[in-house]
């Protein structure tokens, strides 16, 4: 650690499963020390993700749907308390551990948020992440592996904007697509389209030459078109959904669905792929990475196996996918979709705003340490929010 790094830092501690009162802001948390192979990062912006709330509330049951549980893919639960959440971290290297080149000090970078279970570059079987199984970025400093803190110079990209392109959304989106082998020219239905993963999916479809159809809400249509959506369908009206889809695809079936909604909606999504199997050139594919509309879907297995629907469960992604995404960010091929920034000490307000989001909410909320607010947060502060959203956030 260098001499100017303070021994204590401000951080938001998650003290247990439950409501936002479990989040406690403290200014005397020991600053981490970089271990061998790690860099110490002074945090300037960390994006909020759905998983912060889900992990806090224990909404990751895998056996009994009523369980209060979080990730335990390696066999044992890794979320222990107190924990600093926040996965998608941007900042600058201020110190290095042993075996890390000192020239890295000063680099601005974006964290690949995974706690990888192995060195495999093409496989990630036990998804876990900074902010869950280890401390994350809702703090002034974080120590992370040097090879997962990716240098992104791009001076045209503000730190808060870079955080909005964090891997929790982008790597998940990309892995949904690679799992389903999405290729150029394919019609892809993107659900939860205005969210962090959805906005990433629309952009990534365009990068690989696929045609994204967004399922969202009417007030977000213009922004989704601007991002690359071929058409925007309104989830408030799912009546004759397949007919609505045919109207925008020119009668063609959806080749693959990127499903972040789940619940009762998924069965309707399957219809859009199987209504005319003779018109298809490939198997119907359903990539699932979220459940914003419900964690349980009733689907007849005959629909899955007779129509040969291929199912892909997706959590996070691989090292090589993260590296590809970092390269696309450097090349300016991905655009940040940043909704607003909040101060770290106001994380409770940000959580309420995130849950009770109003109209025109698109993309990401970013959290900025109070000590960095003037430079990295204030330019992206929420300037005008609807009365409803404002009341909800109080
Ligand atoms: N498996 C993974 O590795 C992974 C990683 C990241 C996220 N996730 C999960 O993926 C989902 C999306 O994450 P995110 O970060 O994109 O979340 P987000 O930014 O909160 O966006 C979620 C979007 O889902 C849509 N939505 C909300 N309620 C809905 C409902 N009742 N029915 C249908 N759609 C609804 C909304 O978009 P519209 O208004 O546009 O419809 C909303 O903006 C969440 O369930 C999250 O936990 C999983």
DSSP 214-259: EEE-GGGHHHHHHHT-SEEEETT--TTHHHHHHHHHTTPPPSEEEE
Is there a common fold for 8-165+336-393 and 169-313? no
Tokens representing 77?
A: 């639960």
Q: What is the mean pLDDT of the chain?
A: 94
- Relative to beta strand 231-234, strand 364-368 is unpaired
Domain made up of 8-165+336-393: CATH architecture: Alpha-Beta Complex (3.90)
Q: Is the CB of 244 under 6 A from ligand 1?
A: no
Q: Is the CB of 290 under 6 A from ligand 1?
A: yes
Q: Tell me which of 70 and 351 has the higher pLDDT.
A: 351
The per-residue pLDDT for 3 is: 63
Handedness of CA 380, 381, 384, 390 (dihedral sign): positive
Q: Which of 20-34, 71-85, 112-126, 245-259 has the lowest mean pLDDT?
A: 71-85
Tokens representing 227?
A: 């991002």
Q: Is the CB of 262 under 6 A from ligand 1?
A: no
Options 3.40.50.720, 3.40.50.11810, 3.40.1360.10, 3.40.50.300; CATH for 169-313 is 3.40.50.720
Taking residues 40-58, report their average pLDDT. 96
Tokens representing 249?
A: 């695809």
pTM for this one?
Answer: 0.95
Tokens representing 200?
A: 């990433």
Tokens representing 219?
A: 């007030």
Where residue 357 falls among pLDDT bands split at 50, 70, 90? confident
The per-residue pLDDT for 1 is: 56
The per-residue pLDDT for 75 is: 86
Cα angle: 330, vertex 334, 335; to 5 degrees: 110
Chain position carrying tokens 């890295």: 104
Ligand 1 atom with the shortest distance to the CA of 263: 32
Ligand 1 atom with the shortest distance to the CA of 198: 16
Distance 71 CA to ligand 1 centre (A): 18
Beta strands in the chain (DSSP E): 8-14, 23-30, 38-47, 83-84, 88-96, 108-111, 141-145, 149-151, 187-190, 211-216, 231-234, 256-259, 285-288, 310-313, 338-343, 364-368
| Helices and strands: H and E segment counts in the chain | 11, 16
The per-residue pLDDT for 72 is: 85
Tell whether the model's pLDDT for residue 235 goes beyond 70: yes
CA distances from 190 to 195, 304, 308, 324, 359 (A): 10, 20, 20, 21, 19
Strands of 23-30's sheet in order across: 23-30, 8-14, 83-84
Distance 261 CA to ligand 1 centre (A): 7
Alpha helix positions (H), 118-184: 159-163, 167-179
Tell whether the model's pLDDT for residue 141 goes beyond 70: yes
Tokens representing 179?
A: 């799992």
Nearest CA to ligand 1 atom 45: 290
Distance 195 CA to ligand 1 centre (A): 6
Q: Tell me which of 278 and 3 has the higher pLDDT.
A: 278
Backbone angles phi, psi at 347, to 5 degrees: -60, -35
Tell whether the model's pLDDT for residue 32 goes beyond 80: yes
The per-residue pLDDT for 165 is: 98
Exposed (0-12), middle (13-18) or buried (19+): which is 264, by Cβ within 10 Å? middle
Query: Can you tell me the distance from the alpha carbon of 139 to that of 13, in angstroms, rounded to the nearest whole number?
Result: 9
Q: Is the CB of 49 under 6 A from ligand 1?
A: yes
Tokens representing 173?
A: 């989106």
- 339, 353 in Cβ contact below 8 A? no
Helix (H) or strand (E) holding 224: helix 221-227
Distance 166 CA to ligand 1 centre (A): 15
Backbone angles phi, psi at 166, to 5 degrees: -65, 160
State pLDDT tens for residues 279-329: 999 999 999 999 999 999 999 999 999 999 999 999 999 999 999 999 999
Kindly list the domain boundaries of the chain, sorted by start residue: 8-165+336-393, 169-313
Q: 163 Cβ partners below 8 Å, 6+ apart?
A: 45, 46, 47, 88, 89, 90, 110, 364, 366
Choose one of 55, 124, 192, 198 to mutate for the ligand 1 pocket test, by most ligand atoms within 8 angstroms of C-beta: 192
Taking residues 202-209, report their average pLDDT. 98
Taking residues 7-32, report their average pLDDT. 97
Tell whether the model's pLDDT for residue 2 goes beyond 80: no
Where residue 62 falls among pLDDT bands split at 50, 70, 90? confident
Query: Can you tell me the distance from the alpha carbon of 111 to that of 323, in angstroms, rounded to the nearest whole number?
Result: 11
Q: Is the CB of 192 under 6 A from ligand 1?
A: yes
Rg (C-alpha) for the chain, rounded Å, is: 21
Helix (H, G, I), strand (E, B) or coil at 100: coil
Nearest CA to ligand 1 atom 22: 195
Of 90, 194, 96, 203, the residue nearest 150 (C-alpha): 90
Distance 259 CA to ligand 1 centre (A): 9
Nearest CA to ligand 1 atom 41: 216
Backbone angles phi, psi at 28, to 5 degrees: -125, 35
Where residue 61 falls among pLDDT bands split at 50, 70, 90? confident
Distance 260 CA to ligand 1 centre (A): 6
Q: Is the CB of 200 under 6 A from ligand 1?
A: no
Nearest CA to ligand 1 atom 15: 196
The per-residue pLDDT for 360 is: 78
Cα torsion 360, 363, 369, 370 to 10°: value is -10
Tell whether the model's pLDDT for residue 50 goes beyond 70: yes
Ligand 1 atom with the shortest distance to the CA of 291: 45
The per-residue pLDDT for 256 is: 99
Half-sphere exposure of 29 (CA within 13 A, CB side): 21
Distance 279 CA to ligand 1 centre (A): 30
Distance 294 CA to ligand 1 centre (A): 11
Of 22, 90, 16, 46, the residue nearest 348 (C-alpha): 22
Distance 264 CA to ligand 1 centre (A): 15
Taking residues 367-372, report their average pLDDT. 98
Tell whether the model's pLDDT for residue 158 goes beyond 60: yes
Chain position carrying tokens 């619940």: 263
């Amino acid at each position: 650690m260098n001499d100017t790094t303070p021994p204590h830092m401000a951080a938001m501690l998650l003290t247990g499963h439950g409501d936002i009162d479990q989040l406690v802001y403290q200014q005397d948390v020991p600053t981490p020390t970089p271990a061998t192979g790690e860099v110490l990062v002074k945090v300037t912006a960390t994006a909020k993700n759905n998983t912060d709330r889900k992990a806090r509330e224990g909404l990751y049951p895998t056996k009994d749907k009523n369980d209060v549980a979080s990730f335990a893919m390696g066999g044992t639960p890794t979320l222990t308390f107190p924990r600093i959440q926040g996965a998608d971290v941007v900042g600058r290297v201020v110190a290095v551990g042993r075996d890390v080149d000192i020239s890295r000090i000063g680099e601005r970078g974006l964290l690949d948020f995974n706690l990888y279970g192995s060195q495999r570059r093409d496989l990630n079987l036990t998804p876990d992440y900074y902010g869950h199984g280890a401390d994350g970025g809702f703090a002034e400093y974080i120590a992370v592996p040097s090879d997962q803190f990716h240098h992104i110079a791009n001076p045209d990209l503000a730190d808060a904007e870079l955080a909005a392109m964090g891997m929790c959304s982008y790597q998940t989106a990309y892995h949904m697509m690679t799992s389903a082998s999405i290729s150029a020219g394919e019609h892809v239905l993107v659900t939860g389209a205005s969210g962090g993963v959805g906005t990433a999916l629309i952009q990534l479809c365009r990068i690989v030459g696929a045609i994204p159809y967004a399922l969202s809400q009417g007030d977000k249509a213009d922004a989704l078109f601007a991002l690359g959506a071929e058409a925007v369908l309104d989830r408030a009206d799912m009546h004759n959904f397949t007919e609505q889809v045919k109207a925008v695809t020119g009668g063609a079936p959806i080749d693959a669905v990127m499903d972040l909604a789940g619940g009762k909606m998924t069965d309707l999504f399957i219809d859009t792929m199987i209504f005319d199997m003779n018109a298809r050139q490939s198997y119907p594919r359903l990539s699932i990475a979220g459940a914003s509309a419900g964690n349980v879907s009733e689907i007849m297995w005959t629909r899955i196996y007779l129509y040969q629907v291929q199912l892909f469960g997706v959590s996070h992604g691989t090292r090589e996918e993260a590296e590809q995404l970092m390269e696309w960010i450097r090349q300016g091929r991905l655009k940040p979709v940043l909704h607003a920034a909040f101060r770290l000490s106001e994380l409770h307000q940000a959580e309420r705003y995130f849950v009770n989001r109003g109209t025109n909410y698109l993309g990401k909320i970013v959290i900025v340490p109070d000590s960095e607010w003037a430079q990295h947060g204030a330019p992206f502060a929420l300037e005008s929010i609807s009365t409803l959203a404002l009341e909800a956030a109080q």
